[in-house]
Structure 1
Amino acid sequence: MGNPERGREASEDVGSWQTRRAFLKRAGVGALLFGAGGVASSVLTQELRPKTPPRVVFPPAAPLRLHSVTIVDPLDGSKTPDMSIRIANGLIESIVPADQAPRETSEMIIDGAARFAVPGYNNMHVHTMQLDDPELAFASFLVEGVTGIRQMAGSLEMLRNRAEQRLPLDQHAPRLLQMPGALLLPYNAGTPQEARRQIALQWDEGADFIKLIQTEREVFFAAVSAAHRQGLRIAGHLPPSIKMSEAAISGFDCVEHLGTSSNLWIECSRNADQLWREKDKSIAMPAWIGPKAGEFIANHFTSWIIRHALNVGPKELDLLDRALDTYDDGRAQALGQLLMHKSTWQSPTLVGTRKKYRLDDPIYRTDPWLAAMSDADRKLHLEMVDEFRHRSKRYIEVYHRYYEASLHTVGLWKAAGVKFLSGTDESVRAPGQSLQLEFEELGKAGLSPLDILRSTTIDPASYLGRTDTMGRVAERMNADVLLLDADPLAAVENLRAVSLVVRGGHAFTTAELVARLTKLAGRPVPPVTLN
């Protein structure tokens, strides 16, 4: 397998690499896109010839110095007090003890007053670039310290716009770390041959990785092999016919949302063989639907993804109930050992799981972000909340157990050495769904504050193959840095105490970022915590 990550950065760095894309002339509707972020506006069906957006130039930043700060290193958990960090040309140029910093200088000096300097946070599962206008989403990300994102759905047009610096990625946006091409689904990967052709095309288009959603069993394994032959990682959901252990053994690189569906809970059951025989392994979309039905497919899958938890039939609910009732710690731990051995990463997106399976929690009716949502998205959200609340007692009880089992399993796997990437599965901040709330969920699962800091800094750098440019506050690293008012290793809550965000060398106080978010949202949107 080749290098899984070709080291391409966001648009401010786009000149440093040459894409292999071939601008292919093709007829028909463009690639299907859909977002699993939980709001209707995250869906965007690309037209053949969309309006060409203007080029975006990442502006240079004046040199600045973060003076008298305590640098926290997520690599080993060390804390080095009273340091001075010089930033220039978008990079950390030098770090010296504060008493050795120049006394006379024309650069901007920000007195850290012993605050804690950490790398910017990376949200490793978002659907933001699919939005018609992601400006509000970007503003909400920066407020909570997110300086890097992994976009989880793409298209030829999005990849082309990135190569031509036409994505809206300026100093007010997080760094775009990775983006795939079209999602692998039965309409474009109905057979192993089609999957291989699609992956070769995406490699040529400049995709950073392959995102797989729903495929037949033989297509899944063919896709993993084809992606690796092209030097690409492959990540995504587990199709209904694929066990977590099979995905790990095949070399599937990163499982999103713990795989979705009942696959994991069946595999962790004492009655795994019997339950697996009973499971419906058919995929949700027929392979005969072609690209010309792109809009129909997008609409269908939007509804399916958003309302998936609400549309489970009695048979599937009963199977899930029995799987959770026979959950075995030993089987879960053994699976975690396999995942660790095979280097199968996990992006559990626990806030997304909570939103599906604890939708009766008051936060989903009281989160201030409700006021910032569009009328259509707010209406859809509240309809889902009401529908969940009116389900049977057994239904709600089973789904609460699903959520609790997710937390428990993440804790067992962390103890086994499984690597995690923090992510939210959102396109824009949603009720009860943000990276800061994901930190709290990971804490409930048993991860320490250092574990959580790693999952959003040095571990994403390791997964992406970029430990030489991101993930630590060190010389020659990208100047994406946060100042925190409290020790992030002392408590999970302290990870939200962001007072300054440096994005590509541009410094913003939290007050400035909140003011910008308020202006874009049209009203104040204070942070929230889970009950």
Structure 2
Amino acid sequence: MSRYVAPSSVHRHVLIRDVTVVDPLDGSRTAGQDVVVEGNRITTVTATGVAAGDARVVEGSRRYVVPGYMDMHMHALETPQDIDGTYALMLANGVVGFRQMSGNRALLKSRREGTLPQPTGAPALKAAPGDLLTPLNASTIEGAVQAVREQHQDGADFIKAGMTTPQTFLAALQEANRLGILLGGHLPAGLDPREAARKGVWSIEHLGPGVTVFAAASSQEADVRALNATRKLPPIPKVKIPGAERLVLKLVKGMAVNPATGTSETEAHAYEMADVSYDQEKAEELAALFVEHTTWQCPTLIRVHTQQFGDSPEHTKDPRRRYMAPEELRAWDKSAKKFSKLPDVTRNALQHHWTAQLRMTKIFADAGVPMIAGTDACGAAGIIPGFALHDEFDYLAQAGLDPLTILRMTTTEPARFLGEEGAFGRILPGLPADLVLLDRDPLENHTALRQIAGVMRDGSWWSRTDLDVVLDRVAASPGAH
């Protein structure tokens, strides 16, 4: 059950009548279609005129139906004991599935045993890792290798690299490749992203983060990389002592609110140098290499924007903050205050780097680098679960990506990314009944993706009116994280 989302009365046998079906794979629109759902699967997609029988009918005339959205970088299960508000906001915004980007043995065990919380309308957990690789479990090559082995044995879907050195990162990657488990996440300072790509890294998050990727597109690459390599790992214990895991979790959560508040002036200089020495030819060569090695990118532009503009009213005065749990807002406001005290040279470097991040995203898209949409919601300052995915769409459009590319990044590309191509992300018989009904054509303008007339999750339908009630309930008792 959910304290925000009431069970739908429109389920089991549903007919969505006379809609235009949008296929993200080929960009086609097929008007005048009836979509029939039985249980939690689409059974038929045919020309309108299907007899309703005992089906509940959703009238879709002049509307467009697309697959439900996937947020491919989230930390929703950081608070499994209080997930309800986050999941409710996801449903209200058409988000039907996500990739969890932080995990542990308890989470993996709970998933195996089927005891993860599943409030009404909950999205599908598509993938989860074990513990983040940090100095606690990966301070040495031997430790990194052992951590990968343990997570593989625990049933992790992938390994998340968080705070590593080039040496421990590459050792973990080599062991992951040997075991046949994917490794992705943050590239360490000083590592050449081309080496990571050639050696099989699965995904790069946040365009790096930092200047690691941008150094490879600089005419002064060696100098930029040398400056970036001075970035120190946070003071995380390297010895497992009683309570160390809890201490590390607390430290990581504190830093994750906005890592940019810890930017040194040396790092700021690295940003400046990378940006003024930008080399278009090198950027295109890097993009071609990522294409060659299928090195996925999850830009999370909403995340980098909230970091680099950490005290901007755009984020600190966002009216959607009314949905967030009070303790989250306190942490966000504390972080914004800390960001405001950074030296001007640091703040300017961070904010000027935004243009470079948009440019790199467009270069990757134009080259055909595989990309997915994600937000880093749940724990990151200024990021409102569910809504943040639409913010990400806005920033992707600002970078110059077209509406079809954006739609693919949240539907068909996540399926391909997870090795489940054809299993979800399209409106076809046999696929999950996870759909979003839109008032406008999403191939004309990406903003149509937020013009939601209704959402079907796992075969249950919630109308726009139902979703507005959900939002009102969350606002009345804020509980999102």
Query: What TM-score comes out, normalization by structure 2 length?
Result: 0.92
Tell me how far apart the structure 2 counterparts of residues 170 and 413 of structure 1 sit (CA, whole Å).
38
Per the alignment, residue 129 of structure 1 pairs with 77
Per the alignment, residue 81 of structure 1 pairs with 31
Task: Name the SS of the counterpart of 1:273 in structure 2.
Answer: helix
Match of 2:466 among 512, 515, 520: 512
CA contact (8 A) 2:136 2:237 kept: yes
Match of 1:314 among 246, 250, 265: 265
Report whether the alignment pairs 1:264 with 2:213.
Answer: yes
CA contact (8 A) 2:217 2:280 kept: yes
Moved more, 371-380 or 244-253: 371-380
CA contact (8 A) 1:60 1:89 kept: no
Tell me how far apart the structure 1 counterparts of residues 423 and 275 of structure 2 sit (CA, whole Å).
42
Tell me how far apart the structure 1 counterparts of residues 57 and 258 of structure 2 sit (CA, whole Å).
50
Task: Name the SS of the counterpart of 1:259 in structure 2.
Answer: coil
Match of 1:483 among 417, 434, 437: 437
How far 1:169 sits from its partner (Å)? 2.3
Aligned residues: 466
CA contact (8 A) 2:288 2:367 kept: yes
CA contact (8 A) 1:256 1:348 kept: yes
Per the alignment, residue 110 of structure 2 pairs with 161
Compared CA separation, residues 446 and 96, structure 1 to 2 (3 A): same
Match of 1:107 among 46, 55, 71: 55
Report whether the alignment pairs 1:208 with 2:141.
Answer: no
Report whether the alignment pairs 1:331 with 2:285.
Answer: no
Q: How does 1:50-61 map to 2 (within 5 A)?
A: 61=11
CA contact (8 A) 2:265 2:346 kept: no
Report whether the alignment pairs 1:180 with 2:134.
Answer: no
The alignment yields a C-alpha RMSD, in angstroms, of 2.2
Report whether the alignment pairs 1:275 with 2:224.
Answer: yes
Match of 1:419 among 358, 370, 378: 370
- Return the letter of the residue paired with 1:184: L
Tell me how far apart the structure 2 counterparts of residues 339 and 380 of structure 1 sit (CA, whole Å).
36
How far 1:470 sits from its partner (Å)? 0.1
Tell me how far apart the structure 2 counterparts of residues 98 and 373 of structure 1 sit (CA, whole Å).
42
Where does the alignment leave 5 or more consecutive residues of structure 1 unmatched?
1-57, 526-531
Tell me how far apart the structure 2 counterparts of residues 88 and 291 of structure 1 sit (CA, whole Å).
53
CA contact (8 A) 1:159 1:207 kept: yes
- Which digits, 9 at most, give the CA deviation of each residue in 1:93-137, with x for residues without a partner? 1111003x12x5011111111210100000000000111311000
- Return the letter of the residue paired with 1:377: E
- Return the letter of the residue paired with 1:450: L
- Which digits, 9 at most, give the CA deviation of each residue in 1:25-44, with x for residues without a partner? xxxxxxxxxxxxxxxxxxxx
How far 1:364 sits from its partner (Å)? 1.6
Match of 1:347 among 287, 291, 298: 298
CA contact (8 A) 1:171 1:506 kept: no
Q: How does 1:422-461 map to 2 (within 5 A)?
A: 422-427=373-378, 431=382, 433=384, 434-461=388-415
Q: How does 1:516-531 map to 2 (within 5 A)?
A: 516-522=470-476
CA contact (8 A) 1:343 1:418 kept: yes
Per the alignment, residue 298 of structure 1 pairs with 249
- Return the letter of the residue paired with 2:269: D
- Return the letter of the residue paired with 1:91: R
Moved more, 176-185 or 60-69: 60-69
Tell me how far apart the structure 2 counterparts of residues 364 and 391 of structure 1 sit (CA, whole Å).
17
Per the alignment, residue 358 of structure 2 pairs with 407
Tell me how far apart the structure 2 counterparts of residues 465 and 382 of structure 1 sit (CA, whole Å).
39
How far 1:340 sits from its partner (Å)? 0.9
Report whether the alignment pairs 1:190 with 2:190.
Answer: no
Per the alignment, residue 4 of structure 2 pairs with none
Moved more, 331-340 or 507-516: 507-516
- Return the letter of the residue paired with 1:74: P
- Return the letter of the residue paired with 1:143: A
Tell me how far apart the structure 2 counterparts of residues 492 and 74 of structure 1 sit (CA, whole Å).
13
Report whether the alignment pairs 1:70 with 2:70.
Answer: no
Tell me how far apart the structure 1 counterparts of residues 342 and 152 of structure 2 sit (CA, whole Å).
45
CA contact (8 A) 2:184 2:202 kept: yes
Task: Name the SS of the counterpart of 2:433 in structure 1.
Answer: coil
Tell me how far apart the structure 2 counterparts of residues 215 and 301 of structure 1 sit (CA, whole Å).
13
How far 1:473 sits from its partner (Å)? 0.4
CA contact (8 A) 1:83 1:98 kept: yes
Task: Name the SS of the counterpart of 1:187 in structure 2.
Answer: helix
Tell me how far apart the structure 1 counterparts of residues 167 and 370 of structure 2 sit (CA, whole Å).
27
Tell me how far apart the structure 1 counterparts of residues 258 and 433 of structure 2 sit (CA, whole Å).
40
Tell me how far apart the structure 1 counterparts of residues 119 and 311 of structure 2 sit (CA, whole Å).
38
Where does the alignment leave 5 or more consecutive residues of structure 2 unmatched?
1-7
Moved more, 307-316 or 498-507: 307-316
Task: Name the SS of the counterpart of 1:80 in structure 2.
Answer: strand
Tell me how far apart the structure 2 counterparts of residues 291 and 341 of structure 1 sit (CA, whole Å).
43
- Return the letter of the residue paired with 1:284: P
How far 1:182 sits from its partner (Å)? 1.2
Match of 1:374 among 319, 322, 325: 325
Task: Name the SS of the counterpart of 1:113 in structure 2.
Answer: coil
Tell me how far apart the structure 2 counterparts of residues 193 and 351 of structure 1 sit (CA, whole Å).
36
Tell me how far apart the structure 1 counterparts of residues 12 and 326 of structure 2 sit (CA, whole Å).
41
- Which digits, 9 at most, give the CA deviation of each residue in 1:354-410, with x for residues without a partner? 001122432123212323333332233223333434544433321111122111110
Tell me how far apart the structure 1 counterparts of residues 315 and 296 of structure 2 sit (CA, whole Å).
29
Task: Name the SS of the counterpart of 1:508 in structure 2.
Answer: strand
How far 1:274 sits from its partner (Å)? 2.4
CA contact (8 A) 2:10 2:461 kept: no
How far 1:291 sits from its partner (Å)? 5.1
Task: Name the SS of the counterpart of 1:294 in structure 2.
Answer: helix
Give every structure 1 segment of 4 or more consecutive aligned residues whose post-TM-superposition deviation is greater than 4 Å. 58-61
Tell me how far apart the structure 1 counterparts of residues 382 and 225 of structure 2 sit (CA, whole Å).
35
Per the alignment, residue 5 of structure 2 pairs with none
How far 1:501 sits from its partner (Å)? 0.6
